[in-house]
Amino acid sequence: MMIDRPAPQPSDEHILKFVDHLKEVMSRITQRPLQGSTETRNSLPGFEFHDRIDPATFHRMGNILYEKKNPSMGDISQALGVPLSTATRMANWWVDNAFAERLADPDDRRVVRLTLTDSGRHLLENIEDTMIRNVQRVLSCLTPEEETILITLSGKVAANLKEPDD
């Protein structure tokens, strides 16, 4: 007869250590993404983040604008998991800084859509390049086998995060 035992759970110490590692890795990967390349710095004289828009949210919103064709404010709000008013404030910031522009929806005048400007697209490409270089630097201490293990395990964690909470 087989006894059904719960899977062993990580100790609080392991969880805290994991969180510390994540914070350190993320700070290295996302550190000053807008100050990473000379080209990016030169395209943004005097650029600073607004107090309500942190680099991670800036990047997430940029990815939404980059990947989706002319998303509506509702699409952006839903994708970021923020209220419509917050998405609108963020959109204002993007538009005010010439990284995006508003478009009228041809089917519904009440709907506002956003699209990246060329400078917004260029900025996001530079940020992505900087983040890739940072990840390469962070992972340089690993052997190819260790990299494979890390990618596999982080993929499992990411897949688990996509599952709905019970």
In the predicted model, what is the mean pLDDT of residues 97-118? 92
**What kind and span of H or E run contains 30?**
helix 12-30
Three-state secondary structure call for residue 31: coil
Residue 96: φ, ψ to 5°? -60, -30
Q: Mean pLDDT over all residues of the chain?
A: 79
Residue 43 vs residues 4, 47, 63, 140, 164: alpha-carbon distances, Å: 60, 9, 19, 29, 41
pTM of this prediction? Answer: 0.64
Q: What is the pLDDT of residues 1-13, one digit of tens each?
A: 556 666 656 677 8
Residue 25 has pLDDT above 90, yes or no: no
Residue 115: φ, ψ to 5°? -140, 150
**What kind and span of H or E run contains 160?**
helix 144-162
- Residue 9: per-residue pLDDT: 67
- Residue 46: per-residue pLDDT: 44
User: Both tokens of residue 44?
Assistant: 């943004």
* 42-160 CATH fold: Arc Repressor Mutant, subunit A (1.10.10)
* Residue with the two structure tokens 């923020």: 82
Least confident of 4-13, 25-34, 92-101, 145-154: 25-34
Three-state secondary structure call for residue 29: helix
- Residue 113: per-residue pLDDT: 94
Residue 84 has pLDDT above 80, yes or no: yes
Residue 75 has pLDDT above 90, yes or no: yes
Q: Where are the domains of the chain?
A: 42-160
